[in-house]
Structure 1
């Protein structure tokens, strides 16, 4: 006779269809929310809410491959809106759920614990999985999520306040020109990833409209974010940090290590996000501190 597998009991509670909150998971597991979070974080290396969210996205990807509609996949994964599901799916897989087809073979998302959805209703534990380092993953995903927070805050500005130069003559870099307004800072922030991905993918230099609107920036960010995440994950998976990129968009062309490109983007991204917060506050908008510690707590469904 075998003993109880307590870890499996906890996993079952986390993934039960009706357990949409940490409290419901804990109640089903006959544990406190604190104990459930502590044990799973220790033994599975992933907090309960984050684990549930990832596995249900994997199930949604598999269901979409079987012909399920995006709407049905979203509801089954516990999302209350198609927009929220599409955003989460795109950031996870690098393409929107509407582009998933029966030809796609990849549904597992990076997970150091190797725990994945296995159709039709089981879990699979892959013991030799290689995944993106936690630090790299957190840096990249926090940047993308925090950018959306700032864009949402900018929606509350009038057109005049959005474009108003509040730091006359201010430059973030010596080669990109002045960034004096909320509009200029956020446009450069989003546009940086667009430019680098164009160079990496061998595409033409992207259009950088002079008449920037918040709605345009939101659309551009939603398009570039999953592509950027997929690129960094691919570099990490291949160990391609020292690979060289010949950037034909430069005049004359220059070569860059991919690791230095990613570090460059993350460095200026962090600066511009905090600069945008400063400018938003000058415009009378209340903004949080953008602390990745708080963001990670929210991702894990933990209370501080």
Structure 2
């Protein structure tokens, strides 16, 4: 292919060190902000701001793993505070930058993307075969949507009267028989968070966890503690292509063997079911609730 293609011009404008804002990116591509954002989104499946943020985090991960100070990396990535950078990094990688030490394969620092565009050290982009990555990208979106939607629902029930939150809308209802009955939004959300706490302990070889309280504040704290841990586990399975590995769950009595991929699918399947059950129960008590649609979630997530 000869010449310079338009998509590459757009990517250069997005990732130019000087173009921190959307208006600057658009100026660099000789376009209005509206048309620039539409062109980039159509060509890559990500908004310009989301694409830049992701690639800068990938570069940051590579730099941190190579020994660059977290403060320097945060500044180069365009963050105004170390705390903001650490929060974004931990959410993306499931571990704080101070604990990120993965080396070897240059793809170890890549985050899921709909377009195959990634940071490649030292200063280059790598456009990965999106067809190869497409299936895992869908799964990555499902895992992230599950975590974000759970936080959204817990935040939502903070404004719901406790009697509605604990009302037994579906008496005797059980999602999984061994988890007991979950007739109320409180019990369903508790079971949803508890599932990740137990499976995370299984993957990490930790002791059986203690089940915390189910009031919204306590649930949110539990979710915020387990979410990055769970995301780290999923990322590690993806990185090692360990979907078909066997996991011996020593927390079972007697210990039981599971295929790793089936466990992750199990958590996603019943997690989605529980999140929709919560919505059903809240509507039954007269509360307005959104649909939890991943399409709406991704659109909001990609907004500048």
CA 1:215–1:63: 2 relative to 1, 3 Å: farther
Task: Tell me the residue number matched to 2:241.
Answer: 239
CA 1:166–1:77: 2 relative to 1, 3 Å: farther
Count of aligned pairs between the two proteins:
294
**Are residues 1:142 and 2:125 paired?**
no
Task: Tell me the residue number matched to 1:184.
Answer: 187
1: CA distance between counterparts of 2:288 and 2:17?
37
Task: Tell me the residue number matched to 1:49.
Answer: 49
Task: Tell me the residue number matched to 1:229.
Answer: 231
Task: Tell me the residue number matched to 1:26.
Answer: 26
- What RMSD in Å do the two structures reach over aligned CA positions? 3.4
Task: Tell me the residue number matched to 2:222.
Answer: 220
TM-score under structure 1 normalisation? 0.80
2:142–2:268: 8 Å Cα contact kept in structure 1?
yes
Q: CA deviation at 1:18?
A: 6.8
Structure 1 window deviating more from structure 2 (23-32 vs 142-151): it is 23-32
Q: CA deviation at 1:236?
A: 2.9
Instruction: Report the secondary structure of 1:116's partner residue.
Output: strand
2:202–2:249: 8 Å Cα contact kept in structure 1?
yes
* Paired residues for 1:46-195 under 5 Å: 46-61=46-61, 65-69=67-71, 73=74, 77-78=78-79, 82=83, 85-97=85-97, 99-100=99-100, 105=103, 107-111=109-113, 113-116=116-119, 118=121, 122-125=123-126, 133-195=136-198
Q: CA deviation at 1:205?
A: 1.1
1:22–1:301: 8 Å Cα contact kept in structure 2?
no
Structure 1 window deviating more from structure 2 (89-98 vs 12-21): it is 12-21
1:60–1:74: 8 Å Cα contact kept in structure 2?
no
Q: CA deviation at 1:271?
A: 0.8
Structure 1 window deviating more from structure 2 (19-28 vs 179-188): it is 19-28
1:56–1:117: 8 Å Cα contact kept in structure 2?
no
Task: Tell me the residue number matched to 1:275.
Answer: 277
Q: CA deviation at 1:270?
A: 0.6
Structure 1 window deviating more from structure 2 (267-276 vs 153-162): it is 153-162
CA 1:21–1:160: 2 relative to 1, 3 Å: farther
Query: Could you list the runs of 5+ residues in structure 2 that have no partner in the other structure?
Result: none
Q: CA deviation at 1:136?
A: 0.9
1:242–1:257: 8 Å Cα contact kept in structure 2?
yes
After superposition, the C-alpha distances for 1:245-269 in whole angstroms (9 at most, x for unaligned) are 1212112222111121111111111
Q: CA deviation at 1:198?
A: 1.3
TM-score under structure 2 normalisation? 0.80
1: CA distance between counterparts of 2:169 and 2:206?
34
CA 1:173–1:291: 2 relative to 1, 3 Å: same
Q: CA deviation at 1:199?
A: 1.5
1:93–1:230: 8 Å Cα contact kept in structure 2?
yes
Task: Tell me the residue number matched to 1:266.
Answer: 268
Q: CA deviation at 1:196?
A: 1.2
